Structure formats: structure tokens, C-alpha cells
Amino acid sequence: MNDDIRELQASLRTFAQERDWGQFHSPKNLASALSVEAAELLEHFQWVTEEQSRNLPPAKVDQVSSEVADVLLYLLQLCDKLDIDPIDAAKAKIATNAQKYPVALAKGNSTKYTER
């Protein structure tokens, strides 16, 4: 696992331990919190056009950055609780997706592999 990720997970563990929050950090609760934070991230893009979403003003980018951090931190806590290496999981998923979506069939096409 990447050292930066290990350090973040250790910092999160310490942060939670100092506040006695481990009792609340079950995988179920962390997954729920992650979903809530992902929705808060999405909220910043609600009601904007595609073009506007690509050209956010700096203040909005700062707000989105904060939500991205929340999503990442909850994800890392969940991975820590379940002993999942998120980098290994991501690499495995990319390999799986490469099989599901070969370039010859998927290039320029957003159709899900199960709908072909």
C-alpha cells in the first residue's frame, strides 16, 4: 500500500481514537457516511450545465475540494476497517473494466457492457 495512504489511515485512526469515535465507525456506518458525503459532492453540480461543471469558479472548486476530501477520508476509513488496500482494489477494478469494456467495443460508446 502507498505510504501516503498508510499515513492518512493512521492519522484518521488517531483522530477517531482521541475522540472515542471508533465505537461509531462500523463498516456499515462508514459506508453510510461515505454515501452522504458523495451526495454532498454531487450537490455542487446540481442544476449546472455540463459546461458550467467544467468551469467552476475558484470558490466553488474549494468547496468541491472539501467534499472530495470527505469522500476520500471516509473511503480510507472503510478500507482500514475491512483491511482492503484501496490501491490494489482500484488496480484490480481497472483490469476487470478493461475486460468488460474492450476498446474495440467501448470506444466512444457509453452503453453498459450488459446491454450489448
- CA-based diameter of the chain, in Å? 52
pLDDT tens figures, 72-107:
999 999 999 999 999 999 999 999 999 999 999 899
**Domain segments of the chain: what residues?**
3-84, 85-116
Alpha-carbon gap, residue 66 to 72, rounded angstroms: 10
% the chain with pLDDT above 90: 89
Angle at 27 between CA 17 and CA 68, to 5 degrees: 80
Burial class (CB in 10 A: 0-12, 13-18, 19+), 38: middle
Quick one: pLDDT at residue 113?
A: 75
DSSP tag of 78: H
Assigned CATH class of 3-84: mainly alpha
pLDDT tens column, 27-45 = 999 999 999 999 999 999 9
